[in-house]
């Protein structure tokens, strides 16, 4: 089995929204903001090659939205999803599975392409994986999440016939392959899926938006975007206890500087990053 980090570019989000109730005087030490209070974030995905399977986890925001839409998020950087895959010799038609942790635009936008004014799935031979609860919420969004769930990112997947659902097993992780399980969490949005990967004797967890960056490891550092922040607090603490105990490697989707890290407890009983590393070093 081989695992690769896939760079799909950078974007910006408001620092206050990303750190919720935490004062800027604290979060700006790790994540400096520009003159508009915007911070730079990655859209880092993962490719897993396991036997005949080529599994892509999340797809970035893609490039099919309008200029007005992108003006709110300042996408930048030279990398794209397809060019990063191309560097590894992987073509869109080679991808067998796409796991979408959740359907917010910065995680699933690249799953659908706009070609000759027609929306089509970007990976024609892949099975796209979501789950029933989250899919239903994305198709019937509340007013708060409506701006993140875009129909052009979602409906073409269902219309293609490539969509399948991962079953949520309450209280335990759902097996996906021999080396991958899926953990469901519900604080950021209902039924977000975190792939838990066994690799070279280590456990790597794709953190999606439970802990989007290393700066978000301390338990109170919860995004203003989270639908159920108290649930996030509970889920983070439970996860971090296990992460320390079992020496998990956390893979960050949104940290533009730190790809992975391990976690340690602080003297005051909190949590912070321990060792930083890259997938290629595992």
CA atoms in the 13 A half-sphere facing the CB of 140: 4
Backbone angles phi, psi at 120, to 5 degrees: -140, 155
Beta strand 118-121 with 202-206: parallel, antiparallel or unpaired? unpaired
Q: Which residues contact 7 (CB under 8 A, 6 or more apart)?
A: 42, 44, 77, 79, 84
pLDDT in tens, the chain (282 residues): 999 999 999 999 999 999 999 999 999 999 999 999 999 999 999 999 999 999 999 999 999 998 899 999 999 999 999 999 999 999 999 999 999 999 999 999 999 999 888 999 999 999 999 999 999 999 999 999 999 999 999 999 999 999 999 999 988 999 999 999 999 999 999 999 999 999 999 999 999 999 999 999 999 999 999 999 999 999 999 999 999 999 999 999 999 999 999 999 999 999 999 999 999 999
Q: Is the full-model pTM beyond 0.85?
A: yes
- Considering the domain 2-281, what is its CATH architecture? 4-Layer Sandwich (3.60)
Residue of 80, 106, 103 lying closest to 92 (CA atoms): 80
Other CB atoms within 10 A of residue 238 CB? 11
Backbone angles phi, psi at 100, to 5 degrees: -100, 110
What's residue 193's pLDDT?
Answer: 98
What's residue 171's pLDDT?
Answer: 84
């Amino acid at each position: 089995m081989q695992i690769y980090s896939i760079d799909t570019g950078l974007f910006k989000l408001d620092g206050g929204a990303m750190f919720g109730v935490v004062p800027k005087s604290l979060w700006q030490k790790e994540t400096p903001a520009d003159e508009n209070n915007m911070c730079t974030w990655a859209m880092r995905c993962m490719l897993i090659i396991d036997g005949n399977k080529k599994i892509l986890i999340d797809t970035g925001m893609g490039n099919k939205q309008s200029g007005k839409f992108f003006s709110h998020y300042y996408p930048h950087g030279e990398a794209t999803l397809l060019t990063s895959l191309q560097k590894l010799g992987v073509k869109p038609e080679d991808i067998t599975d796409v796991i979408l942790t959740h359907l917010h635009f910065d995680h699933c936008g690249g799953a659908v392409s706009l070609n000759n004014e027609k929306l089509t799935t970007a990976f024609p031979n892949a099975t796209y994986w979501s789950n029933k609860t989250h899919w239903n919420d994305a198709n019937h969004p509340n007013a708060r999440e409506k701006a993140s769930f875009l129909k052009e990112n979602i409906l073409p997947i269902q219309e293609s016939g490539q969509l399948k659902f991962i079953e949520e097993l309450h209280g335990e992780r759902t097996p996906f392959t021999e080396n991958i399980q899926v953990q469901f969490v519900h604080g950021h949005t209902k039924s977000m899926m975190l792939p838990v990967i066994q690799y070279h004797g280590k456990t790597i967890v794709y953190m999606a938006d439970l802990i989007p960056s290393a700066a978000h490891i301390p338990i109170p550092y919860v995004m203003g975007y989270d639908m159920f922040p108290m649930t996030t607090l509970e889920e983070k603490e439970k996860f971090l206890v296990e992460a320390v105990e079992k020496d998990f490697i956390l893979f960050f989707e949104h940290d533009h500087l730190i790809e992975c890290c391990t976690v340690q407890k602080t003297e005051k009983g909190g949590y912070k990053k321990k060792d930083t590393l890259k997938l290629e070093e595992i």
